[in-house]
Structure 1
Amino acid sequence: MGAHSHFILGFRLAKELADRGHEVTFINAYPQKVPINNLREISVAEIRKDLDEKKKELYEMGTMSYIGQLSWVSDFGYFYTEKVLKIKEVQELLHSDEKFDLVLIENFMNEAMAIFQHKFKCPSVIMAPGPTTVFNNHLLANPFESAYVPNLLADFGSDMSLWERILNVYYDVVGQLFVHFVMIPNQNAILQRSVPGAPDLQDILYNASFMLLTSHISLREPSPLQPNIKEIGGYHLLPPKPLSKDIQDFLDSAKDGVIIFSMGSNLRSADFPKEKKEAVLKVFSRLKQKVLWKFEEDLPGKPSNVKILSWLPQQDALAHPNVVAFITHVGLLGKIEAVYHGVPMLGLPVYWDQEKNINDAVRQGFALSIPFPQLDEKNFEWALKELINNPKYRETAKLRSRIMHDQPMKQLDEAMFWIEYTIRHKGAPHFKSPALKLQWHQRVLLDVFLVTGIVVVVILSVVYHILKFVFTSSRSDKKVGKKKKRE
């Protein structure tokens, strides 16, 4: 995918595999300027300009309906998948005679990429940039439990009311229908155009050996996972690197603390509506804390306690002990980094999974949320001061950080173990769920319920007709008896 945050996830795995001696071919939109041993890159950087234009629509996405968001993200995936598959170097790879031991595929509305596993006839591992969802559960036959596992786009937790469970079932059912009757057919159309002679996508889509999730139990509520689905959230994190002198001095001199503000790589703070930008600056001007803000343009009239940067070394800055809060759009990587370093968050969710990401953190007690359309001076100031001045948020953030750190092995090492395990065991078929052999209606026992219903109806019908016959016969006998008495 063209998003830089998604590139980070792929690059971290690719480089670690290369460092361990594997020969890696990495298709990505952000090729390295300095070559890396064992790592061959196929650049698809040409898609970035078009994707950047699409990203300008993201601030409007949060106002869309559930189906509207599904359609937008599916169209986005359709757009970049087709562009990548048509790039000359990608086509050359697909038509080459190269041999691979494994294909690692990021899954985000790009199911047509399953062609790489089919082409090279080797095992594959899926890297999901998030938790299991209604959009990827089907790939490894992972159960989706609508009774207590909230949909990715739901704004409630597992403790659902009756109405919320009804909504959750609606979200899950509509999501499943969308995946199977809109998204996969659209991806199959891309595949057939881009790779003439390719098999139908449905025939090659369900062969992955493992799925690696960019999520972690410290971030979410428990949910069922198949044994070949592994959580490795936080694997992209590295030991903090030295900051530039101006940033280091700015952070070191913040006696009352520093607030870090970033809307990530897909959203630009510079694109804030004028009234929201002014509201934020007014609040910052009244704070005693310093603010380090990822802002992509000049910002005339900014308060003296605010430092802007067009690019922010977010991981490294969050590690500084003077950081007291993180204002964020609540992309998953930013949330992971905040939890890792024990920093409380103020979320300004805009679209897709961001509202769920921050609402989970609010329920866990280390964050506050202001949905972006509701951002104004009054609620921004209250939330920011509450987050900074109430110690419970920082204490809970530190607790969550300890949970994330308390692991039998580092997340990156676990990712490497399962990738190499897949190679050693030639796809590890013993891990695959037998549910993959069933049709969807068999998995949910629809055929069993249907047959049972038919049997019950037949039995009730037979009983009804027997009773009807008995009662009819009884009435007839009584009528005959009365007639004889009268005679």
Structure 2
Amino acid sequence: MNVHFVIIFLLFIAVDFSSSLKILGVFPYCAHSHFSLGFRLMKELADRGHNVTFVSCYPQSKPIKNFREISVSEIRGPIDETKPSLVDFGKFSVWSQMNWVSALGELYTRGVLSSKGVQELWKSNEEFDVVVIEHFVNDALTYFHKRFNCPLVTLVAGPTTMFTNHMAGIPILPAFVPNILSDYDSKMNFWERLDNTYKQVLGEIFVRSVHVPSQNNILREFFPDAPDLRTFLYNSSIFLICSHTSLSDVVPLQQNIKEIGGYHVPPPKPLSEEYKIFMENATQGVILFSMGSNLKSANFEPEKKRAILKTFSRIKQKVIWKFESDLPEKPDNVFISSWLPQSDILAHPNTIGFISHGGLLGTTEAIYHGVPILGLPTFWDQKKNIEEASRKGYGLKLDFENLNEEVFAAALDELINNPKYSTTAKERSRIMHDLPMKQIDEAVFWIEYVVRHKGAAHLKPAAVTLKWYEMYLLDVLLFLLTIAAIIFYVTKTVVKLLICRKKTFVDKNKSD
């Protein structure tokens, strides 16, 4: 009896160990929104018994079971120095916007590869079953999966863009797929399609001729013997993208691309007593105001700050504002804090509106909880996200550059008092929740699936092996044009000869 028990127990341990994976998660960009994507996923994997090593900018104060951290927090300073320029991002040309983002990628990719913790990891004899990397203009970091000789899963903090399309084998389809820097929806008129085509083609040219070569140079700086980046950049088994059809129009996706938008939203936690009392005493509702982790409300121009405060002082609702310094002139109905439990506040039944910069994660959290949005977009995809919210009826858009008291007050009044925004946000929330499995479960499933199927090569499209001119059939088009030109030339020559002969024949007959 005891022998049988021991055998069963040992078998149980063996099965348990065999199902436990060693996972390396690389989420090094120093913005709390990006960190939260990685932490939510890696923590879930650790909670399910996998052994996780997590590279990030924000090490936790308390140890977590099955969860080892490698901090790259030393790069936070240089990253923070770039953030004030974000307010001018919308003034840049399309090329300059892409160049700014690519330069940011260069900055922190170098910082990650030179950090002490990553260097030690690189030189170690560690083994991993899979590497999960957040791709955010950091292509050189895909070398991690080559170093540890294991499959690569790529997580994208939004929909696919010009920076990831080529990696996943996605052709550009400007007729109905808007560029990340456009503010169009899928139904574009001729001029919008023309502009969208320009941006898509320009994006492809920039990424292939500027961005990827610069990342390849970074790779060679740290690893002189490394192969060319393009030889392994296209090795991702699965792309997990943080988009969802409840937020934007449907786009065609390859089999190796899985939408998991909303996975980062955890179950609501009880609010602290301070927040709880403030919110439960808000009989007319609460407005949450946050410009995210990159932009600071404290850096607003004085005129914009006064316009916002005057508007808040006249409304019946209470306001919770993520504000990073003291604000002695704030009215009594405004609560400020340098950090907010954003998702938990959005989940509270008294929250009736969300004033936001329009970042995808905040927008996703708002729709997850059915809260309408008033957007003040400034950077990257924010304008497009808020345009989507406005077109689909769950939000309103304001021009941040020209913000004043009159337009801000009118927009906030419309959001609060017109029920269509709240109704539509709740409808979109139901769509986001109506799934065969939770987004976090799907994310975990696909990571484990990649390991079970040794890289899941059967999901990789042939498109990732094609050169750019093969992808868009430019070689075929050139061949056909060449054949057409030859046929035209031969036909023209033959016709010319026939005409000459006929003329010679006629002239001869006349002379006779």
Tell me which interval the TM-score lies in, with the shorter structure as reference length. over 0.9
The answer as to 2:374 corresponding to 1:338 is: no
CA shift, 1:250, in A, is 0.9
1:183 to 201, 204, 211: 211
| CA–CA distance in structure 2, aligned partners of residues 296 and 437 of structure 1 | 48
| CA–CA distance in structure 2, aligned partners of residues 442 and 95 of structure 1 | 39
The answer as to 2:130 corresponding to 1:102 is: yes
- What is residue 135 of structure 1 aligned with on the other side? 163
AA aligned opposite 2:458: H
- What is residue 176 of structure 2 aligned with on the other side? 148
Residues 256, 289 of structure 1: 8 Å contact kept: yes
Question: How many pairs does the alignment contain?
Answer: 484
The answer as to 2:115 corresponding to 1:87 is: yes
Alignment of 1:262-301 (within 5 A): 262-301=290-329
Gaps of 5+ in 2: 1-28
Alignment of 1:2-81 (within 5 A): 2-81=30-109
CA shift, 1:98, in A, is 1.4
Residues 355, 371 of structure 1: 8 Å contact kept: no
Residues 171, 471 of structure 2: 8 Å contact kept: no
| CA–CA distance in structure 1, aligned partners of residues 137 and 38 of structure 2 | 16
CA shift, 1:146, in A, is 0.7
- What is residue 443 of structure 1 aligned with on the other side? 471
AA aligned opposite 1:160: M
Residues 143, 224 of structure 1: 8 Å contact kept: no
The answer as to 2:195 corresponding to 1:167 is: yes
- What is residue 229 of structure 2 aligned with on the other side? 201
| CA–CA distance in structure 2, aligned partners of residues 420 and 126 of structure 1 | 13
CA RMSD of aligned residues (A): 0.9
Gaps of 5+ in 1: none
CA shift, 1:481, in A, is 0.6
- What is residue 111 of structure 1 aligned with on the other side? 139
| CA–CA distance in structure 2, aligned partners of residues 25 and 293 of structure 1 | 35
The answer as to 2:447 corresponding to 1:419 is: yes
Alignment of 1:213-228 (within 5 A): 213-228=241-256
CA shift, 1:351, in A, is 1.1
CA shift, 1:196, in A, is 2.9
The answer as to 2:366 corresponding to 1:308 is: no
| CA–CA distance in structure 2, aligned partners of residues 266 and 441 of structure 1 | 37
AA aligned opposite 1:325: G
| CA–CA distance in structure 1, aligned partners of residues 192 and 464 of structure 2 | 30
| CA–CA distance in structure 2, aligned partners of residues 35 and 306 of structure 1 | 36
TM-score (norm 1): 0.98
Look up the SS of the partner of 1:62 in the other structure.
Answer: helix
AA aligned opposite 1:313: P
Look up the SS of the partner of 2:426 in the other structure.
Answer: helix
AA aligned opposite 1:41: E
* 1:49-83 Cα deviation digits (max 9, x unpaired): 22112112211222212111111111111001101
CA shift, 1:371, in A, is 2.2
AA aligned opposite 1:191: L
CA shift, 1:265, in A, is 0.9
AA aligned opposite 2:477: F
| CA–CA distance in structure 1, aligned partners of residues 399 and 148 of structure 2 | 45
- What is residue 285 of structure 2 aligned with on the other side? 257
* 1:199-228 Cα deviation digits (max 9, x unpaired): 111112111100000111101101110001
CA shift, 1:149, in A, is 0.5
Residues 134, 176 of structure 1: 8 Å contact kept: yes
| CA–CA distance in structure 2, aligned partners of residues 379 and 194 of structure 1 | 51
